[in-house]
Amino acid sequence: MFNRFILIAIFVPLAIILIALAVANRELVAFTLDPFNPGNPKLTLTLPLFIFLFLALAIGMIVGSLATWVKQGRYRKLARQRGVEAENLRQAVSRAPAAPQSPAHGSAQGSALPKPTA
């Protein structure tokens, strides 16, 4: 139910806004990679403006995701180390021989008291 709410409340309006942006900005624009000779046809792309906008958005999301992933690397490393330590402890416990329980610690049979003599 929550996922449906997120879909309706956030993604549907976002999609409507992006579609309106694409329709409003469909004129061709020139994007050149040569600052010294802007008319160079080999280094100039002529595409609708909304494609450049969407590419900038996608590149920004990828760069931001990579920066977050790199920044959180130490936490992932720590989690892996703790996972390995926990697995080593589980294996050590499963390999350890079962220690006999003394009556003072309470066994599953109850307390072991001597039988009364008559």
For 39-50, the pLDDT digits (tens) are 888 889 899 999
Residue 60 forms part of a structural domain: yes
Q: CA–CA separation, 103 vs 111, rounded Å?
A: 6
Asked whether residue 1 is assigned to any structural domain, the reply reads no
- How high is the pLDDT of residue 98? 66
- Total domains present in the chain: 1
Whether 117 maps to a domain, the answer reads no
Buried b (16+ CB within 10 A) or exposed e, 57-81: eeeeeeeeeeeeeeeeeeeeeeeee
Q: Give φ, ψ of 107 to 5 degrees.
A: -95, 175
Domain assignment of residue 59, given as a range: 7-94
Q: In this structure, is residue 90 part of a structural domain?
A: yes
- Round to whole Å and give the CA distance between 44 and 29: 10
Does residue 110 belong to any structural domain of this protein? no
Q: What is the pLDDT of residues 89-111, one digit of tens each?
A: 999 888 877 666 655 555 555 56
Tell me what pLDDT residue 102 has.
57
The reported pLDDT for the residue numbered 118 is: 66
- pLDDT score of 4: 86
pTM: 0.59
pLDDT score of 75: 94
**Which segments of the chain have a pLDDT < 50?**
none
